Amino acid sequence: MKPQPAHVAIIMDGNGRWAKKHLLSVASGHRKGVETLREIIRFSSDNGIKVLTLFAFSTENWSRSKEEVSALMQLILEYFKSEIDELHKNNVIIRIIGDIDGLPKLQRETVLSAMQKTASNTGMYLNIALNYGGRGEILSAAKKLCKLYKDDKISLDDINEDNFQDLLYTKGQPPVDLLIRTSGEMRISNFLLYQCAYAEFIFNPVLWPDYTVEEYKKDLKAYMDRDRRFGGRTQ
Ligand code: FPP
């Protein structure tokens, strides 16, 4: 058996379809999705996953109905209020990846304070992608690099993959080993485009609110059974 992934990223898809199937509002689907998220975070942190990145809200999600966007924003507030103490107790380091400045004031303050509170913890990194887009992240890293070059802080010859990665939100973290997307959709949807260069992908058909720790264990095992070659050849 090969080692378990250091960095797992999850696209928590299917909340809307779950709600429709149960004749509930889409907000209830997301609310049920938060219960799954809680279980998966707890299991990951208890079982030695080093980095868990969850896609909670993309830069494209603002185009959803006003009701759905405000339900998601409300859930984010509730989540941090109710979970922060336990996450902190479990030594989790919270990092929000995405454009925090573009979040409403209350959400911005809440997530900034969660990051601050857990910054000196030493356990699992929990990256929550909020107002996140992969192209935007790469573009903003490129702009920062141009500025460093313009200010004579870096020369062209010194630019390499290591220092480019330091300009991404995931600075200091390993690349994604395993990307899981639930609900059967098979797309990356602008998530961690740079960090997923050699990630293994698992598309699990279960809708996110129905996804369980048992399913997660199966996906982790399927990952460990795979042969990763990173462009090389196995002997
Ligand atoms: C995709 O399902 C899911 C989202 C766009 C949001 C995911 C957010 C949460 C699980 C909760 C909020 C997060 C935190 C950190 C509290 P979808 O609605 O696109 O599903 P569909 O494709 O079936 O419509």
List pLDDT tens digits, range 114-125.
Answer: 999 999 999 999
Question: Rounded distance, CA 28 to CA 18, Å?
Answer: 9
Identify the pLDDT of residue 235: 60
Q: Which pLDDT band, with edges at 50, 70 and 90, does 180 fall under?
A: very high
3-class state of residue 48 by DSSP: coil
The per-residue pLDDT for 228 is 86
Q: Are strands 51-58 and 93-97 parallel, antiparallel or unpaired?
A: unpaired
The pLDDT of residue 130 is 98
Percentage of the residues of the chain whose pLDDT score is greater than 90: 96
Ligand 1 atom 6: the closest Cα is on which residue? 56
In the sheet that holds 93-97, the strands lie side by side as 93-97, 125-132, 51-58, 7-11, 178-182, 200-204
Ligand 1 atom at shortest distance from the alpha carbon of 183: 23
Q: What is the mean pLDDT of the chain?
A: 97
Band the pLDDT of 148: cuts 50, 70, 90.
very high
pLDDT tops 90 at residue 153: yes
Atom of ligand 1 nearest to the CA of 75: 16
Tell me the average pLDDT across 80-84: 97
Nearest to 102 by CA among 133, 74, 144, 80: 133
Contact yes or no for 130/96 (Cβ under 8 A): yes
Total-model pTM: 0.96
Residue keyed to tokens 């098979």: 186
Residues with CB under 6 A from ligand 1: 12-17, 30, 33-34, 37, 56, 61, 72, 75-76, 79, 128, 183
SS3 31: helix
pLDDT at 233 over 90: no
Q: What ligand 1 atom has the least distance to the C-alpha of 128?
A: 15
The residues assigned a catalytic role are 13, 61
Asked whether 199 and 9 are in contact (CB, 8 A), the reply is: yes
